[in-house]
Amino acid sequence: MIPLNFDYYKPKTLYETIDLFHKLHSIGKKPMYYAGGTEIISMARLNNIQIGAVIDIKGIPECNIHELKNNKLIIGSAITLTDIANLNYYPLLSLTVKRIADHTIQGKITLGGNLAGTIIYREAVLPLLVADSHLMIASKKEIKTLPIKDIFQGRIQLEKGELILQVIIDEKFLSLPYAHIKRTKNEKIDYPLITISALKNRKNKINIGFSGICEYPFRSYEIEKALNSTFDSMDERVNNAINNLPDKLLNDLAGSSEYRKFMLKNMLYDILKKFEVAN
Ligand SMILES: Cc1cc2nc3c(=O)[nH]c(=O)nc-3n(C[C@H](O)[C@H](O)[C@H](O)COP(=O)(O)OP(=O)(O)OC[C@H]3O[C@@H](n4cnc5c(N)ncnc54)[C@H](O)[C@@H]3O)c2cc1C
């Protein structure tokens, strides 16, 4: 049961959606964009959220686009993880989303909802970070397209009322060699202890992103530099990568920081071996 009342709207256009958000906000309704609803409903059930209205974005045509056009893959923010895996334009993204929640919930969770959600893992962002993707963001004043690295720093930096419209990925990244490893505490279906998504780029270098290690998902150019340093031995590369983590390691009930460090080390060896950039 949800112990609070809120209004539900499902506009048909982008303009209507943004306009409605600001109108509801101005009368103190605390509106929220609603995509798959998995997080909003879970939080509402626990009384962890204050909302007076939700605006369902699944009626906006631009949020439902999922196509390859002009050498770009365009994925609307309301596209579900199931659709991403089924159409499989970008195998690294498919593999990553297939390991988020379970099969039933994947049919509800949207790409935009995973990127904008409050849980710390946001695993779907990893394949987007390593492919230098762009995000199209709509606001009251404009629609802008930004490199993901400029707008996603641990979490997505959105102003009030801004909406993720689409994710855009250059076609050249879709067929690169890739690796995805997710380690969980017990069950196969669980939040990650550590997840790694990586690509071997056209210069034979590794692009790599992590979730579950720190309190936010990230791609680190310092770690990539360490892993790609072919003058160093494999041990040196792995140790230098670990010494360049951007923040302290998570230490929680799922796993201590020492355990995560041990696991991360092994996973980095696996990645180097897989991509055969080892000495
Ligand atoms: C049982 C279960 C297990 C899970 N396991 C994992 C896991 O292992 N790894 C993982 O990464 N995730 C996992 N998740 C998913 C995660 O916790 C969120 O529930 C999910 O990502 C939210 O997506 P949604 O489409 O349902 O978003 P919603 O619940 O609709 O929205 C979530 C937030 O995003 C905002 N939002 C949604 N779309 C947009 C948009 N286009 N623009 C701007 N803001 C937007 C909403 O306003 C809200 O604040 C799991 C979820 C469940 C229920």
Q: Does domain 61-173 have CATH number 3.40.50.300?
A: no
DSSP letter for 248, please: P
Global pTM reads 0.96
CATH of 7-56, one of 1.10.1200, 3.40.1000, 3.30.43, 3.40.50: 3.30.43
pLDDT of residue 240: 97
DSSP letter for 241, please: H
- What confidence tens digit (pLDDT) does each residue in 71-104 have? 999 999 999 999 999 999 999 999 999 999 999 9
- What confidence tens digit (pLDDT) does each residue in 160-210 have? 999 999 999 999 999 999 999 999 988 778 899 999 999 999 999 999 999
Q: Which amino acid is at 249?
A: L
Superfamily name and number for 178-274:
CO dehydrogenase flavoprotein, C-terminal domain (3.30.390.50)
- Distance, CA 279 to ligand 1 centroid (Å)? 41
pLDDT of residue 279: 46
pLDDT of residue 189: 82
Angle at 267 between CA 82 and CA 189, to 5 degrees: 35
Strands ordered across the beta sheet of 7-9? 7-9, 53-56, 31-34
- Distance, CA 39 to ligand 1 centroid (Å)? 5
Give the residue, 277 or 187, on which the prediction is more confident.
187
pLDDT of residue 278: 45
Nearest atom in ligand 1 to the alpha carbon of residue 211 is 11
Tell me: pLDDT of 13 over 80: yes
Nearest atom in ligand 1 to the alpha carbon of residue 124 is 11
CB-CB contact of 39 with 117 (8 Å): yes
Plot region of 162 (φ>0 → left; ψ -120 to 50 → alpha; else → beta):
beta
pLDDT of residue 277: 58
CB-CB contact of 140 with 26 (8 Å): no
Give the residue, 113 or 46, on which the prediction is more confident.
113
Tell me: pLDDT of 61 over 50: yes
Give the residue, 44 or 105, on which the prediction is more confident.
105
The domain ranges of the chain are 7-56, 61-173, 178-274
Mean pLDDT, to the nearest integer, of 231-255?
95
Mean pLDDT, to the nearest integer, of 63-73?
98
Percent of the chain clearing pLDDT 70 (strictly above): 99
- Residues touching ligand 1 (Cβ under 6 Å) are 32-40, 42, 57, 77, 100-101, 105, 108-110, 112-114, 116-117, 119, 121-123, 158, 163-164, 191-192
Tell me: pLDDT of 23 over 90: yes
Nearest atom in ligand 1 to the alpha carbon of residue 190 is 8
Supply the mean pLDDT for the chain.
Answer: 95
Please name the residue whose Cα sits nearest to atom 33 of ligand 1: 117
Q: Is 5 helix (H, G, I), strand (E, B) or coil?
A: coil
Tell me: pLDDT of 22 over 80: yes
